[in-house]
Structure 1
Amino acid sequence: MVKDFKILIIEDDKIHRTVLENILLEDGYSVVAAPNGKVGLEYIKSDSFDLVITDIRMPIVDGFQVCREINSNPETKFIPVVILTANHESEDLVYGFEQGAFDYILKPFDNSELSARVNAAIKFKEIRNELISERQKTVLLELAGGAAHEMNQPLTILKTIVYIIEDKLSNNSLEVSDIKKYMDKMKFSIERLSKIIDKMKNLSEYETRDYAMGKKIINLLDRGE
């Protein structure tokens, strides 16, 4: 059965790379293979993957750096990374997790264990994406409410100024000095509205994802501006 998931394998050993590729293809995944970390990172920049499986010990760019690069990039940090290692030392595994690895597989690996760990990583990504998607819907509602609140004050100021000008015009009491004063206040309110609108337009998908994950980085109107 073909699964709608793409996996990147980064492994410098051709035999291990071929074995991994064949197992995952048999499991129904779409697979791309890279001979080292440098090529793997280039693939990640140009394509979209649901999972990355990388060896740790490789020349040029090792698996630890691959983890760091993926984890530090907002466009890829949600991709789970499974590290491959022949080293049973816990220090290596702990360091791998510190660099952003999701799971590990020890060499020589068992086919059923590999399939199970890959399946678990894919399911984790699916569940997390669903949770983030639901949270993003809530975030959008919160942003809409926040925008309405932030825009209310400058709009109220503008409406009040219009009423005052209309009243003064009807009483023939509008002075030239009044016009400048009211224009300055209207300009300030319009600039404030423009800042709010610009920030809403420029919010990226990754900012709202971070917000949805609990990092409230979105500020529609910086009070210090």
Structure 2
Amino acid sequence: MAIGNYIKDGYIDQDQAKDEKILVVEDNEDILNLLLRMLKDKGYRVVAAESGDEALRMVEEEKPHLVLLDLTLPKVNGYDVCRMLKASENTRYIPVIIVTCKSSTEEKIMGLELGADDYIVKPFCREEVLARIKSLLKLRNLHYRLIQTEKLATLAQVAVSVNHEINNPLCAISANAEVIKMMLTKQIDPAKMNAKLDAILGEVDRIKGVIDKLSRATKVVSMEYISGIQMLDINQSSEPIKDDEKKE
């Protein structure tokens, strides 16, 4: 089928090259080559797949930033590809644009309900495709920046919490060790020395408890530390120990 039947008037403006990688999934060779050339001219890195199963494999291998997905594919159709991508924790945030001849409202709704981020009907305008790709990539990058910001904020809270929860017993251990060192030089009563050693062991157990709670953390619950600085509430953030675990 001629390329001209699928493309309306439009042109490709020359923007600066991009680092984003786009997977084009299309079994029509003419349309596939057109999309690849169009995206390369815009500076995108591109990879291609001509069937649904190949698309799923390419997503795992190439880790694209966005997928242009045809629906009428051999072996695994586009609907199933979209559904599987959006069901996986590793790929659900990859933007998917369906590009297809199917133009009925029901088919559009079905694609969007499966998790597709946008829907373009053939014949398409190159400017429209490029604009939608650019918009979705901006949203994707914003999403990942927000995730990184949240991770950094959580990490900062954990750092404050660890500093607070572990620094205190470490100071106590250090102080008691100094006292024991002094006792050894002065031959102090062994009972008093044992009391200091017990204090050290108690602080060690306290540190172990903090580490154990951190290992069982399943959510982030914050609490105020000082001067508006937030720290992780270790007790509220960790799962309680089950009865069978206590017996062990």
* TM-score of the pair, normalised by structure 2: 0.66
Matched residues in 1 for 2:125 and 2:233: separation?
A: 49
Which of 212, 216, 227 pairs up with 1:195? Answer: 212
Rounded Cα–Cα distance in structure 2 between residues aligned with 1:4 and 1:32: 13
Moved over 4 A (4+): 152-171, 177-187, 196-200, 218-221
Structure 2 distance, partners of 1:153, 1:66, is 53
**Residue 224 in 1 paired to residue 240 in 2?**
yes
Report the number of matched residues: 211
Name whichever of 136-145 and 49-58 sits farther off.
136-145
Please name the residue that 2:82 is paired with: 67
Counterpart amino acid of residue 127 in structure 1: L
**Distance apart, 1:7 and its partner CA:** 0.5
Partners of 2:172 and 2:200 within 8 A in 1: no
CA separation of 1:223 and 1:129: change in aligned 2, threshold 3 A: closer
What is the CA–CA distance in structure 2 between the aligned matches of 1:158 and 1:82, rounded to whole Å? Answer: 59
| CA distance, structure 1, for counterparts of residue 43 and residue 183 of structure 2 | 76
Seen in structure 2, the aligned counterparts of structure 1 residues 16 and 153 have a Cα distance that, compared at 3 Å, is same
- Pair 1:121-2:153 in alignment: no
CA distance in 2 between partners of 1:174 and 1:133 (Å): 53
Distance 1:93 1:143, change over 3 A: farther
Residue identity opposite 1:172 in structure 2: D
Counterpart of 1:51 (choices 66, 74, 91) is: 66
Alignment check: 8 A CA contact 1:165 1:174 kept: no
- Indicate the larger mover: 62-71 or 181-190: 181-190
What is aligned with 1:140?
A: 155
Distance apart, 1:82 and its partner CA:
0.7
Match of 2:109 in 1: 94
Q: For 2:146, which of 107, 131, 141 is the aligned residue? A: 131
Structure whose CA Rg is larger? 2
Preserved CA contact (<8 Å) 2:173 2:200: no
Shift of 1:83: 1.0
Quickly say closer, same or farther: Cα 1:161–1:70, change in 2 above 3 A. Answer: farther
The one of 9, 21, 25 aligned to 2:40: 25
Could you tell me which runs of 5 or more consecutive residues in structure 1 were left unpaired when the two chains were aligned: 209-217
Q: CA RMSD in A?
A: 3.8
Q: CA deviation at 1:192?
A: 2.1
Amino acid at match of 1:122: L
**Identity over aligned pairs, percent:** 28
Q: Which amino acid aligns with 1:189?
A: R
Q: Is the 8 A contact 2:24 2:32 kept in 1?
A: yes
CA displacement 1:65-85 (0-9 Å, x = unmatched): 222332233333322111122
Structure 2 unaligned regions, length at least 5: 1-13, 221-231, 242-248
